[in-house]
Amino acid sequence: MTVAKTKEKRAGKEFPILVYPEKCTGCRTCQVRCSVRYLGEFNPFKSYIIVARDHGKRTTSLDFTDDCIWCGYCARFCAYGALVLKKSAKSGKGSK
Amino acid sequence: MAMLGYAGQILKIDLSTGKIEKEALTPELARKFIGGIALGAKLLNDTVKPNTDALSPGNVLIASSTPLSGTALIGSNKTDWTSKSPLSGLAQTATSGDFGANLKWAGYDSMVITGKAARPVYITIFDDEVQIHDAGHLWGKDVYETSDELWDKYGDTCTVFCIGPAGEKLATISMAYTNKISTAGRKGSGAVPGSKNLKAIVVRGTKGLRVAHTKELLAKADEIYERYLQDPLLKRWMDLGTTISVEQYSREGKVLWKNWRESYPADRQSSRFSVQQFMEIRDVSIPCLLCPLGCKVLYNVREGEFTGLETLQSCNMGAFLSYGAKFDLSSYNQIAKCHDTANRLGLDTVEVTCVLDFLIDLQEQGVIDEKVTDGIKLERDIDTLLTWMPKIANREGFGNVIADGYTGVFTALDQEVAKYAVQRRGGSLDIDTRGIFGVEAFGIAVGVTGPHATFALGPTMIGGRDIAWLRRYCLRMGMSEGELDSVFSDPSGFNVARLTRYVERWNALLACMGICNRAPLARLYSLPLITELYSLCTGLDLEPTELLSAADRCVVLLKLFNIRQGATRKDDYIPERNFTEPLYILGEESRMRDYYETRRLTREDIKAFIDDYYQERGWDKEGVPTRKTLTELGLTDYIEP
Ligand code: SF4
Ligand code: SF4
Ligand code: SF4
């Protein structure tokens, strides 16, 4: 996706996700969901979220690439409370 | 063009010649053997010659992904590992870890490694680029050191498979690990790569995967996830993982110690290994790929003995049974230490602890003295474990004998000591048959991978299930009316041997799909759903009965493999001690009885059960699949002339 296009898609939105890297288990569900939604393939390496791990133990960072269009889709599938949709946090859901 | 849902290739590496080949996975092969463990069973049979020494270049190490793995389906991303076990001499399989999904994303459904490298090597698989490298600098290092070094070099997005010193020294009670946590099976899964001079395999797949019907598959994946979230026990499962059953097992006397003589006192469990005590050392979940349950954990010892120790644990229940109870440890801190030691060395936890427990029993019974065990008295304590595990992994002193498990001990000492052991084909049992005699217990006698509940795990772990409940379970497993009649026409309610055959088929199918057997995940999947998912992923339309036949093909191929490696009906048995001696459960004498506890089970009963089981499978009296059975399953190539 071009930078201009990403910007266009983000316009008028705020980033919809609360991010808690310390809760991330590295399960990669968010990555696979993002890649299949936007690229039509199951491929964590092409997703717009990057999960960095510490030799099998903990997640050291959770970052969104410049291509991320702030849709929040990935957060719906994070079972560990590392990605929480702001709107469900407000409504009291998803706060594990 | 690659097939959808599959990567479409099988990677073959011969370490003797260094030759690397990529073969197409044809639609015919995919339809017939599905993937995972069935494909593994086929490749095992086709690669390993009859009567092959499991530690010779002729054995094979196979890893297979499954048609569902690497997609967005939850709990269906396991890898199937297949080889010949150097401990049991039978087929060895395990459904475990992330390796397969990464392999699939790299472009391969299966990896088949044969031969033996001249020097220690490791393999890297980065999409199309497959290379063999010198591993001189890694040889001798433990599982954690090796994994860390390879992650340092290649990055954390790789899956790292490796062995520790025990595998290098060809201990038949060794294991291989992926990502420091998942094992590639028990019973010498570390010695097989060790015998090939193969220290590690690093895989990273960046090609990804396309399926036949993406939108529909995602809709199904969402539906499955929604159903999963309804499970009322979810929060507890996520916190505790397998620890969820520790208390109940102890209360019911299912936790055994003292060489299968009695149950471990429940009050010790509640005072030393309570849920609260577990939570004190529990850190984050370490789930398998795409798993929302995360039953595996990072142990983090925050205070007391071994403070500062962090180690990865795939099954806390197993660690409690093996170390905590059998060795009368005093805390989870001690369990963490023992577990860390065994993992790093690459030892098979279950075999190591069972064989040491057996040797302690021999000393207690006065059968052997300390001289045999290098002048050291064996005790049920942490010191014994921490002293002997390195000796075993490095084959030092009597550790050299224990490194080959029960068989090693029987050979080194008088064969007479075998009568004190509870084992089948050199492997220790998963379950005592003198407790609840369901399919899990009967599976001990006939299991194609040895005395394990691998394929026979399921409906009768809990005693006294009523027939209506069992019938519902059977329907979910896709049993036909005729099959139900055959199982439930027995006057006792149901025939445990005949039911075992269908539970094995079901678990083989789950393994072919890489579906985890933890209850909150496994119960989400039924035969119609699996059939639909298979078709959405691959675009191949198979009937449910065709999938069941593929699962049967898997078990039959593993059985044929065993026969060709020399196994006979004599190898299907329940250990003699289970007939002659009682087990003391919570102080009460317990003998082998039928599932509803209406009568004692004798050797004749077990013989009759084995006959029933063979008959239900379409095998002859000797346990050999008949020509008719092989023909029906489309395995005519395997009919002996
Ligand atoms: S889904 Fe959640 S826990 Fe899993 S990798 Fe993504 S952020 Fe981490
Ligand atoms: S917010 Fe949307 S675009 Fe960004 S990583 Fe998540 S799914 Fe991908
Ligand atoms: S439940 Fe446990 S064993 Fe099963 S897939 Fe999840 S983490 Fe792995």
* Nearest ligand 1 atom to alpha carbon A31: 6
Q: Over 60: is that where the pLDDT of B515 sits?
A: yes
Does ligand 2 come within 6 angstroms of the Cβ of A1?
A: no
Closest residue (by CA) to atom 2 of ligand 3?
B295
* Nearest ligand 3 atom to alpha carbon B291: 6
Name the closest residue on chain A to residue B77, using Cα atoms: A27
Looking at residues B30-56, what average pLDDT do you find?
96
Residues 6+ away with beta carbon under 8 Å from B411: B401, B404
* Nearest ligand 1 atom to alpha carbon A28: 5
A35 touches chain B (CB under 8 A): yes
**C-alpha of residue B68 to centroid of ligand 2, in Å:** 23
- DSSP strand pairing (B80-84 vs B91-95): antiparallel
Show residues of chain B in contact with A47, CB under 8 Å. Answer: none
Query: What are the boundaries of each domain within chain A?
Result: 3-83
| DSSP for B208-266, written as a single string | -B--S-HHHHHHHHHHHHHHHHT-TTHHHHHHHGGGGGHHHHHHTT--EETTTTEEPPH
Domains and CATH numbers, chain B: 9-204 (3.60.9.10), 233-417 (1.10.569.10), 439-525+568-638 (1.10.599.10)
> Could you report the per-residue pLDDT of B1-21, keeping only the tens digit for each?
558 999 999 999 999 999 999
Show residues of chain B in contact with A39, CB under 8 Å. Answer: 208
> What pLDDT shows up at residue A95?
41
A95 touches chain B (CB under 8 A): no
> What pLDDT shows up at residue B415?
82
Does ligand 3 come within 6 angstroms of the Cβ of B296?
A: yes
How far is residue B243 CA from its own chain's centroid?
A: 18
Q: How does residue A92 score in pLDDT terms, banded at 50, 70 and 90?
A: low
> Could you report the per-residue pLDDT of B520-570, keeping only the tens digit for each?
999 999 999 999 999 999 999 999 999 999 999 999 999 999 999 999 999
* Nearest ligand 2 atom to alpha carbon A37: 7
Q: Which residues of B touch A (CB under 8 A)?
A: 70-72, 74, 105, 147-148, 151, 156-157, 179-181, 206-211, 214, 218, 225, 238, 284-294, 298, 310, 312
CB contact under 8 A, A36 and B214: yes
> Could you report the per-residue pLDDT of B628-641, keeping only the tens digit for each?
999 999 999 999 87
Looking at the complex, report in whole angstroms how far the Cα of residue B336 sits from the nearest Cα belonging to chain A. 15
Three-class HEC string of A1-42: CCHHHHHHHHCCCCCCEEECHHHCCCCCHHHHHHHHHHHCCE
Name the closest residue on chain B to residue A60, using Cα atoms: B156
Three-class HEC string of B133-201: EECCCCCCCCHHHHHHHHHHHHCCCCEEEEECHHHHCCCCCECEEECCCEECCCCCCCHHHHHCCEEEE
Global confidence as pTM: 0.96
CB contact under 8 A, B157 and A45: yes
> Could you report the per-residue pLDDT of A17-44, keeping only the tens digit for each?
999 999 999 999 999 999 999 999 999 9
> What pLDDT shows up at residue B433?
94
Looking at residues B450-454, what average pLDDT do you find?
79
CB contact under 8 A, A25 and B214: no
Pocket test of ligand 2: the residue of A32, A46, A47 to mutate, having most ligand atoms within 8 Å of its CB, is A47
Q: State phi, psi for B203 to the nearest 5 degrees.
A: -130, 135
Looking at residues B577-601, what average pLDDT do you find?
95
> Could you report the per-residue pLDDT of B351-383, keeping only the tens digit for each?
999 999 999 999 999 999 999 999 999 999 999
Show residues of chain B in contact with A50, CB under 8 Å. Answer: none
Show residues of chain A in contact with B293, CB under 8 Å. Answer: 79
